[in-house]
Structure 1
Amino acid sequence: MSITVIKMKLFCFIFFCVGVRLVQLQGLGSGSDGNLRVCIVEGRGPLKRGATFCPLLDAEDSGLECVLGSDQLDCLRRISKGTVDFGVFSPEDLIAAQWADIDVLVTNELRNRHRPFERSVVAVVNNRILPEHESSLDAVLRNSSLCHPGVGVNTLRPLSDTLSGYLESLIIPRACDSELTLTENRLKAIGEFFNRACKAGPWVPDHDGDLELKRKYRSLCAACASPDCSMEDKYWGPIGALQCLAEGAGDAMWGELDDVLAYFGINSTAKSPPMSPEGFSFLCRDGSYSPLDAPPCTWLQRPWPVVIAKRKAVHDVSKLISSLKEEDLFNNHWRGALTALLEIRQAPTPLNPPRVPLDYLASAKGFREAYSQSGCDPPRHITLCTTTLLEKNKCEWLSEAGAVYGVNPPLQCILRDDHTACLRAIHSRESDVSVANGDAIPTAMRDFNLRPLLFEVTPIVEKMDTVLAYVRADAVISNMADLRGKRAAFPRYDGVAWHSVLRYIQKKEKINCYDATFNYFSEICAPGVEKHNTTSEIVDKFTSACYKEDGRVTGGEMAALRALVEGRSDVAFISMKTFNMYQNKLIMEPWASTIVDIISICPEENTKYCYISWSNIGHIFAANNITEMRRHEIITVFTKLDQLFGKHQPFHSVMFTMYGQFNHQLDILFHNNTKILATENILNMHPYSSMPLNFERSFLNNTSDSCQITDLAPSAAYKMAPMFLLLISALLTHILSS
């Protein structure tokens, strides 16, 4: 063989090897060196899987990389963008993926039992209601008593609203009374179909709304052990519904097949099951029935969690996941780490070939149909106004997530230039609601006749929206009275700090708005006054001391703090949050690099907390004159979204996080520090009721007791002068003229 031929063969071999390596790099994952990237969502419990097991993937050349997603839909978005390759998702996540038109394939099922579906829902009835001859489902169940599995905070057990609503729709005609909320329509329909029921648990998350509905539809609690039919009722939940049926309180129920078989001792070695199966039957969707020891007829099946992958990586992901065996579950190396990250309990079941989500879900009886139910005509929705593309994007994903779990009416999202434009959109009925902080309250109530329906609440004072008077420690200022004649910096004109401080000065010093505004401080910076319809003299007076960039006044808490730090003002009225950021060197600005000793001056009325006022961190505004029905509907939708996607469910990964990061950014649409959404009643509850100087309570109850733009006119000083001064003025005028 010639040297030339040998060289050619060697060249071809090297080219082939390099080519194979290139194919591997291009055909594998989106990570470094072609690694497959898996998206992991940390649960809210104490065990952090990512922190525990992801390092093992990196340490052992596994060809895998972890990416931590904020929630399941965040992982879906990352797969859609191609930045990660696969992850584990619930059937409900697949519904969201289908609706969002995300192009993925299902590669494996993750079963923990040897059966085709995770859950099967059956109907069980007392034989006393069964007719002698075959009859329709309507004829069997109408005017009977229902043991409903109930509702609760958990999204899946007893049943999600969507699945429960689907089961009801198979026997109960849809009600669409335009005078009632969609929730009440559904309750009314159940109440009219069944003679009585036990539907224990909160029907809506709002406590007052729940009590009102239960007073109105008492028959839906009549079969419960106690008339308030709460989650503490013995007939609440999956086992409670079975007990309700077994004890004769009700005639029919839906439940999971596993629970039913265990309760009646079917296929069990237990010597004494809780209840004998004699006298009870499975009821089928066509109205037929069979004994409990016969093969069950299911009404609804829920698929197993699955692995999904982007199309480009689907072959490699399928091969990887299908290679995991039982022994890998106890492996201390990267394969064991991967099974822990994916929460695998037995060897994954491969799908050959991989399927699109729609086809995979179609194999489960009723599941896909549950998410394609028709609504009322005309359709209802709640329009939420947003101010940025990112907010609108988050709103749309929240709408998708809510729709999956049966939150109705669904959200609709629109975009406007700023918060004022959103408030105007609500006033003109282009939108139903918008989210804004306390600074928007005066404008919303005074100019657009709006009112906050819900509040973003946090129990931590340091994270609330507070207004404190901060001064330099070397200043000769020891109490609030010493601020007279000093230079003051406000974050903005017409905001919480502006109204809180002027209201405090008025009441403390017994002076009118004009004097509190013009004669108390020697100088004021109040950015934003230039946007109001006022004179150039007033604009100059309240902005000449402010920072300006490109000729525009710079506002916000950072600008007010900077003025104090750099000595342009003597007092800055800002929040604890901003002060703490400065103290902890979290403000990445040149002026904040040197920490000046700053202290707060406490009002005599509030030496404990030291603030001049406090308010909740966010508000959902709606028109003040909406109907009571619409008010209930808006409150129900947002409190249900909060219940599903807020911070109520601590031990599992949720589909979506209302108060978490979105697209790597904080405080988008809602604040990350929000604990719950609550109605105005929260202000009367502990600990908020015992916290003095609440801005919302004082402003919502008395909007006229606040300095308005009209109060800045010189004539206002005359109008608001104390009566004795007017009398003296009149007397002097009379003396001089006589």
Structure 2
Amino acid sequence: MSRGVVLVVLALLAVARSDSPPKTFTMCVPEIYEQDCVKMMQESTSKGIPISCVTGRDRLECIEKVGKNEADVVAVDPEDMYLAAKSKLAAEAGYNVVEQVRTKEEPDEPYRYEAVCVIHKDLEIYDVHGLHGLKSCHTGVGRNVGYKIPITKLTEMNVLGDIHNPEFSARENELKALSSLFSKGCLVGKWSPEPSINARLKETYSNMCALCEKPEVCDYPDNYSGYEGALRCLSMNGGDVAWTKVIYVKRFFGLPVGRGSKTTATKDPSDYRYFCPDGTKVPIDAVTKPCTWAARPWQGYMTNGKVKNIDGIQKELTELGEVGEKENANWWKHILLLDEKTLAVKTAPVAPEEHLTNAKYLDVIERNSGAVERTARWCVWGDRSPKKCQALARAAYSRDARPQLECVQKNSRTECLEAIRDDAADFALIEASSVKQAIENFKVKPIVAESFGMGQTKFSEKPAVAVVKKNSPIKSLADLKGKKSCHRYWQEDYAGWIAPVSALLHAKLVKSEEEVSDFFAASCAPGAPIKSKLCEQCAGNAESNDDSIITATKCQPNHAEAFSGKGALKCLAQDKGDVAFVPLTDVYKLRESIYKINMINIIHKNIIIIPK
């Protein structure tokens, strides 16, 4: 009797388990895609695919959250896999790549693309040192199969010359080495983002442009650039070797690709060979496996070691991809990294470092040129900046930024400027409003300016503008006297405070900065003294509907204040002010906002000229 009861109970438990809802996996997404993830949860849940989301600052923070078991899965690039492999959390996290984003054309290929070297079949070359003096065809500067991979592998084989000369930049070290190895080449692209340096490099190492369609330009578009262009350079323009990828070799020579059919051959493949890293040659045909120099892994989805139901998460990711494609959803593209040419393919779990090593791609990411000991010392200050700097340094290194960033921590902007002056740091990021003072007091010089898109000047400056509504009687700065004003921030903000104050002083409408608060009837200038007129029009965190929170956040120089930053235009739109002082770039962004551009009128462009 008792045994029968036990059997019944066990049977009921089994039924309960089979009817229990599937586990809800949690995906970490960069915070810019938070709304996409909400939409994904809604659409997937309606299809019986449960998933939840957490957000991270970016993909790097998401990798950390997966490592800490705060999320189950994150979509990653190969460079993100590298970050996971080298993370302090790696050993404990037990990261695994469990599914890959592959093309529908090649769903069975283990890698996104494989780098190969193609030569004429009768070329007399018997080892990699025989490359010296040959004519070389490349996809383009900075690209993987035509630049990074050959440089990495040939350096390891002691074929390339010195790439660590401290007198040259990392890029020039590489160009110099290639120019010395090959007699001629075609290597198009921007050799430097600075036009004068780009021109100097192409003049100095001009032999690496000699095989291009337009050697004097040596830039895109060029008939002998890119994956197929490198093969044209080899077969039609006198090249001896071409660096490209397998799929383009197959297309060029009319061989089957993936599950597809043959294409029309441009040249006879029997006249060419794959040149292998060990010096051997391999036929180019439909049956012989190519010898590769390295491969770039597919993008994929990475979990931690605590996710035991691998089949479950693979099934869910695959189904999510199918739902997203059917709906052509933004989250399908932004979060799952899929498009109409790709699909999610489940694979055997593999640790990211093992995956990169198997692809012979780990050393490509870690490739280092220029002075080995040289770093770019970035000076930062504040509580959060050091951690941000360190995160950026890791991410930048994985994505080929050389020399490696080193974070130097100081207590203030002034201390950082002193450190640059005294050669204890190389650079710092400062607001435009502080540039003139930095140049005069610390003998530093600007080297890079932030680009702001629509509304910026040709010098990447953000013009400061005064904005009023279309029906406003205000036509000039003088008309602003006695009106209510909305400012991005108080004092250190260029467009919101420095520019309008300077304009009022220049127009002799005020005698000093202190008079500005009396020039206007009332204002919102977040960061100003809370009891001053400059805070009267501020709203605080109005969305909280909590008087204590509104009081605590009113006129604070952060996003808690509804009218801070871009919120200055909201202040204008809600009739809390008659004029808003903002950068012109904010005005252009109104096109994506509920505060339509036809509601406003710009009365004063370029309130003050930014010092050149």
TM-score range, shorter chain: 0.7 to 0.9
Q: Which amino acid aligns with 1:97?
A: A
Between the aligned partners of 1:347 and 1:508, the Cα distance in structure 2 is 63
Cα gap change, 1:575 to 1:208, in 2 (>3 Å) = farther
Equivalent in the alignment of 2:98: 107
Equivalent in the alignment of 1:81: 68
**What displacement does 1:346 show?**
6.2
Between the aligned partners of 2:527 and 2:36, the Cα distance in structure 1 is 45
Q: Which amino acid aligns with 2:609?
A: F
Equivalent in the alignment of 2:164: 176
Equivalent in the alignment of 1:714: none
Between the aligned partners of 2:530 and 2:453, the Cα distance in structure 1 is 22
Matched, 1:695 2:587: no
SS at match of 1:452: coil
Equivalent in the alignment of 2:276: 284
1:567-586 alignment, distance < 5 Å: 577=566, 579-584=568-573
Equivalent in the alignment of 1:243: 232
Provide, for residues 656-677 of structure 1, a one-character-per-residue CA deviation record: whole Å limited to 9, x for no partner.
Answer: xxxxxxxxxxxxxxxxx9xxxx
User: Which of 262, 274, 287 is matched with 2:266 structurally?
Assistant: 274
Cα RMSD after superposing both structures:
5.0
Q: Give the alignment's TM-score, normalised by structure 1.
A: 0.61
Equivalent in the alignment of 1:213: 201
Equivalent in the alignment of 1:312: 306
Between the aligned partners of 1:50 and 1:486, the Cα distance in structure 2 is 43
Cα gap change, 1:359 to 1:6, in 2 (>3 Å) = same
Equivalent in the alignment of 1:648: none
Equivalent in the alignment of 1:188: 176
1:351-362 alignment, distance < 5 Å: 351=348, 354-362=349-357
Between the aligned partners of 1:274 and 1:20, the Cα distance in structure 2 is 60
**What displacement does 1:142 show?**
0.7
Equivalent in the alignment of 2:132: 142
1:63-78 alignment, distance < 5 Å: 63-67=50-54, 71-78=58-65
Equivalent in the alignment of 1:410: 404
SS at match of 1:695: coil
CA contact (8 A) 1:467 1:576 kept: no
SS at match of 1:184: helix
Structure whose CA Rg is larger: 1
CA contact (8 A) 2:44 2:323 kept: no
Between the aligned partners of 1:68 and 1:499, the Cα distance in structure 2 is 36
Between the aligned partners of 2:371 and 2:51, the Cα distance in structure 1 is 50
CA contact (8 A) 1:614 1:693 kept: no
User: Which of 353, 357, 363 is matched with 2:358 structurally?
Assistant: 363
Between the aligned partners of 1:168 and 1:295, the Cα distance in structure 2 is 22
Q: Which amino acid aligns with 1:311?
A: G
User: Which of 116, 119, 123 is matched with 2:113 structurally?
Assistant: 119
Count of residues in correspondence between the two structures: 542
CA contact (8 A) 1:392 1:415 kept: yes
**What displacement does 1:40 show?**
4.8
Between the aligned partners of 2:578 and 2:397, the Cα distance in structure 1 is 49
Segments of structure 1 that go 5 or more residues without pairing to the other structure are 29-33, 510-515, 527-540, 567-573, 586-594, 601-610, 618-672, 674-689, 701-738
Identical aligned residues as a percent: 22
Q: Which amino acid aligns with 1:39?
A: C
Q: Which amino acid aligns with 1:395?
A: C
Between the aligned partners of 1:565 and 1:75, the Cα distance in structure 2 is 35
Q: Which amino acid aligns with 1:191?
A: S
Between the aligned partners of 1:80 and 1:12, the Cα distance in structure 2 is 39
Between the aligned partners of 1:87 and 1:272, the Cα distance in structure 2 is 40
**What displacement does 1:394 show?**
2.7
User: Which of 333, 345, 348 is matched with 1:348 structurally?
Assistant: 345
Provide, for residues 680-715 of structure 1, a one-character-per-residue CA deviation record: whole Å limited to 9, x for no partner.
Answer: xxxxxxxxxx9755532xx23xxxxxxxxxxxxxxx
Matched, 1:230 2:219: yes
Between the aligned partners of 1:520 and 1:292, the Cα distance in structure 2 is 80
Matched, 1:38 2:27: yes
Between the aligned partners of 1:89 and 1:497, the Cα distance in structure 2 is 39
Q: Which amino acid aligns with 1:275?
A: K
User: Which of 562, 574, 586 is matched with 2:535 structurally?
Assistant: 562
**What displacement does 1:188 show?**
0.9
Between the aligned partners of 2:531 and 2:427, the Cα distance in structure 1 is 29
**What displacement does 1:230 show?**
1.0
Between the aligned partners of 1:174 and 1:462, the Cα distance in structure 2 is 42
**What displacement does 1:440 show?**
1.4
Equivalent in the alignment of 1:447: 441
Equivalent in the alignment of 2:578: 598
Q: Which amino acid aligns with 2:272?
A: F
Cα gap change, 1:18 to 1:414, in 2 (>3 Å) = farther
1:616-695 alignment, distance < 5 Å: 692=606, 695=609
CA contact (8 A) 1:191 1:220 kept: yes
Q: Which moved more, 1:215-224 or 1:342-351?
A: 342-351
SS at match of 1:39: strand
CA contact (8 A) 2:24 2:51 kept: yes
The structure showing larger relative contact order (alpha-carbon pairs under 8 Å, at least 6 residues apart) is 1
Cα gap change, 1:546 to 1:450, in 2 (>3 Å) = farther
CA contact (8 A) 1:438 1:615 kept: no
Equivalent in the alignment of 2:589: none
Cα gap change, 1:290 to 1:36, in 2 (>3 Å) = closer
**What displacement does 1:451 show?**
2.4
Q: Which amino acid aligns with 1:348?
A: V
**What displacement does 1:124 show?**
0.6
Q: Give the alignment's TM-score, normalised by structure 2.
A: 0.72
Q: Which amino acid aligns with 1:357?
A: P
Between the aligned partners of 1:332 and 1:493, the Cα distance in structure 2 is 47
**What displacement does 1:441 show?**
1.7
Between the aligned partners of 1:338 and 1:456, the Cα distance in structure 2 is 29
CA contact (8 A) 2:234 2:242 kept: yes
**What displacement does 1:160 show?**
8.4
**What displacement does 1:35 show?**
2.0
Q: Which amino acid aligns with 1:207?
A: P
Between the aligned partners of 1:496 and 1:330, the Cα distance in structure 2 is 45
Between the aligned partners of 1:64 and 1:180, the Cα distance in structure 2 is 51
Between the aligned partners of 1:695 and 1:506, the Cα distance in structure 2 is 14
SS at match of 2:401: coil
SS at match of 2:446: strand
Between the aligned partners of 1:425 and 1:259, the Cα distance in structure 2 is 51
CA contact (8 A) 1:122 1:282 kept: yes
CA contact (8 A) 1:107 1:309 kept: yes
Between the aligned partners of 1:239 and 1:299, the Cα distance in structure 2 is 18
Between the aligned partners of 1:40 and 1:410, the Cα distance in structure 2 is 27
Equivalent in the alignment of 1:253: 242
Between the aligned partners of 1:506 and 1:348, the Cα distance in structure 2 is 65
CA contact (8 A) 1:73 1:93 kept: yes
Provide, for residues 38-75 of structure 1, a one-character-per-residue CA deviation record: whole Å limited to 9, x for no partner.
Answer: 2356999xxx9746643233235534224466643243
Cα gap change, 1:65 to 1:330, in 2 (>3 Å) = closer
Provide, for residues 522-550 of structure 1, a one-character-per-residue CA deviation record: whole Å limited to 9, x for no partner.
Answer: 95369xxxxxxxxxxxxxx9xxx9999xx
Equivalent in the alignment of 1:492: 491
Equivalent in the alignment of 1:520: 511
Segments of structure 2 that go 5 or more residues without pairing to the other structure are 540-562, 587-592, 594-603
Provide, for residues 430-456 of structure 1, a one-character-per-residue CA deviation record: whole Å limited to 9, x for no partner.
Answer: 221111222212331222122221111
